[in-house]
Amino acid sequence: MKETIYAANNIGGFFSVNKKVVFLLLPIFLTMFLMATAIMTTTVHASNGHDVNCFERGVRDGEEHPFNQDTYNECGDDYYKGFIKGCMSVEGNDREICESATDA
């Protein structure tokens, strides 16, 4: 009879240790998951470089990236004109397509 109780106490002790480990590791795994998700969903814009003038950032975004509203808010018409020029340089794009790409 004592052996059965001892085994039951051992099993309970095992599970309580695992719960503690899970509660300690869960925030770490959750943080890692959220960081990985943020990295994978980050949109990259050519306009992130501040060493390039606004018009040139627009041209680069127009060629390969979506319209960047934050850069437009910062640069204004120079970025917009550059974006249109870059977008229209892509085969198959026309002014209407490029202007519609700037709609928020």
* Residues 20 and 66 placed together within one structural domain of the fold: no
Number of domains the chain contains:
2
* Residues 1 and 24 placed together within one structural domain of the fold: yes
3-state helix, strand, coil in the chain (%, to 5): 75, 0, 25
Report d(CA 25, CA 17) in Å as an integer: 12
Report d(CA 38, CA 43) in Å as an integer: 10
Q: What pLDDT was estimated at residue 103?
A: 87
Residue-number span of the structural domain to which 19 is assigned? 1-42
pLDDT in tens, the chain (104 residues): 555 555 555 555 555 556 676 666 667 766 776 666 655 544 555 555 556 799 999 999 999 999 999 999 999 999 999 999 999 999 999 999 999 999 86
- Residue 79 half-sphere exposure toward CB, CA atoms < 13 A: 21
* Residues 53 and 24 placed together within one structural domain of the fold: no
Using only C-alpha atoms, the chain has a radius of gyration, in whole angstroms, of 28
Q: How is residue 12 written in tokens?
A: 């309970």
* Residues 35 and 77 placed together within one structural domain of the fold: no
